[in-house]
Amino acid sequence: MEKKTVLSCIQPTGHMHFGNYFGAVKNWVDLQEKYDCFYGVVNYHAMTMPYKPDKLRQNTWDLIFNLLATGIQPENLFIQSLVPEHSELSWIFNCFTPYGRLNQMTQFKDKSSKSTDDGFISAGLLNYPVLQAADILIYRADFVPVGKDQDQHLELTRTIASRFNNQVGKEYFVMPKGLHTETPKIASTADPTRKMSKSAGEKHYINVFDDEARIRKQIRSAVTDTGEPSGEMSAGVENLFLLIKAGGNEQAHVSLMEDYNADNLKYVDLKEAAAETLVALSQKFREKRAELLANKKEVKGQIKASSAEIRKRAQQTLKDVKDLSGLMNVRF
Ligand code: AMP
Ligand code: TRP
């Protein structure tokens, strides 16, 4: 049986913390075994908020190296701007998008209320979900592994796909589905009532590529008791257990859980095990990244080549779409 297609994308922001890794990237890595996977670093999307060109370029390559180091296969990885068909399809889709839906999007409302550039809000930010629909439909993805926060964008993607199908009189696009696998929500170790995130500030995230000293320090200062009634596991303790388990340290998890159940758990042991787990993972990834960076030119060349290969599939879809829409096609 032919493999189903999976697509997901991530914006190039300079960091990859353990929340991103356990919540999204690890899942992408695992899906590669069973599906035909396309993973994009979406630099066109990153232009929708005020940004600096040099930083965008740097962040895009940084993220590529980080994704490769954590186990994404190069042939599955592309840079969005190296497949310019995304933006052309996005224009076509704009004409199949009910515009009133765009300013109802939660992400648009959130981001536009946080404009850091003197109230400037780009039309690109409003049209962001249309470009996202193009990312997904251009590969005719069956499944899109994303967090629940992206459900609204997926729903809009299906609206666009079915309006297109109706208008051209052909069931051309299949309706993509979200893939909500068991993605653990990692909390901030400094404040376990909120999620680990970069925007909350220095204390609230641990990067996958941080050096050992910083990882240990962040875990050492993790909040454990947050005033829960006795007999209930505190959010901080639960989060440390989760990090140990998600990091694959099953043995430590079992034995510390026994201590916990016997009312005998020492927080210093729990923290030590959490730190060990993250340090070991991080070490593996840092070594892999150093190897890749030692061959920077080749690796970049490889990603350009994989983007070109992936582009062929996008070109085929765009050609069909233009034919179906009554647009002339460039011969290629
Ligand atoms: P962001 O950088 O917030 O856009 O997130 C990129 C991806 O990482 C998304 O799929 C999020 O759902 C996931 N993610 C971000 N923070 C966390 C977290 N603290 N726990 C679990 N998943 C997260
Ligand atoms: N909007 C997604 C996010 O904020 C990123 C994204 C862009 C995406 N295009 C996509 C996710 C296509 C899945 C599929 O995380």
Of these residues, 198, 288, 319, 322, which one is catalytic?
198
In this structure, are residues 97 and 50 in contact, taking their beta carbons and an 8 Å threshold?
no
From CA 136, how far away is CA 145, in angstroms rounded? 11
The pLDDT value recorded for residue 232 is 86
Residue found by looking up tokens 């970049």 in the block: 300
Ligand 1 pocket, CB under 6 A: 10, 19-20, 23-24, 146-147, 183, 185-186, 195-197
Of these residues, 3, 34, 55, 111, which one is catalytic?
111
From CA 38, how far away is CA 9, in angstroms rounded? 8
The pLDDT value recorded for residue 200 is 86
The pLDDT value recorded for residue 303 is 98
- Whole-model pTM: value is 0.94
In this structure, are residues 12 and 77 in contact, taking their beta carbons and an 8 Å threshold?
no
**How far away, in angstroms, is 135 Cα from ligand 1 center?**
19
**How far away, in angstroms, is 8 Cα from ligand 2 center?**
7
> Could you say which ligand is closest to the alpha carbon of residue 145?
2
From CA 72, how far away is CA 93, in angstroms rounded? 29
The pLDDT value recorded for residue 225 is 83
At 157-210, the pLDDT tens digits run 999 999 999 999 999 999 999 998 777 789 999 999 999 998 889 999 999 999
The pLDDT value recorded for residue 119 is 86
Give all domains of the chain, ordered by start, each with its CATH number: 5-183+296-325 (3.40.50.620), 202-291 (1.10.240.10)
From CA 285, how far away is CA 250, in angstroms rounded? 20
For residue 250, with 0-12 CB atoms within 10 Å meaning exposed, 13-18 middle and 19 or more buried, which class applies?
Answer: exposed
Respond yes or no: is residue 185 known to be catalytic: no
Low-confidence ranges of the chain (pLDDT < 50): none
Residue nearest to atom 5 of ligand 1 (CA): 20
Residue found by looking up tokens 């992408």 in the block: 28
Mutate to test the pocket of ligand 2, among 77, 135, 154 (most ligand atoms within 8 A of CB): 135
> Could you say which ligand is closest to the alpha carbon of residue 59?
1
The pLDDT value recorded for residue 332 is 62
The pLDDT value recorded for residue 114 is 83
For residue 12, with 0-12 CB atoms within 10 Å meaning exposed, 13-18 middle and 19 or more buried, which class applies?
Answer: buried
Respond yes or no: is residue 322 known to be catalytic: no
The pLDDT value recorded for residue 15 is 83
In this structure, are residues 170 and 324 in contact, taking their beta carbons and an 8 Å threshold?
yes
Task: Report residue 23 as tokens.
Answer: 């919540």
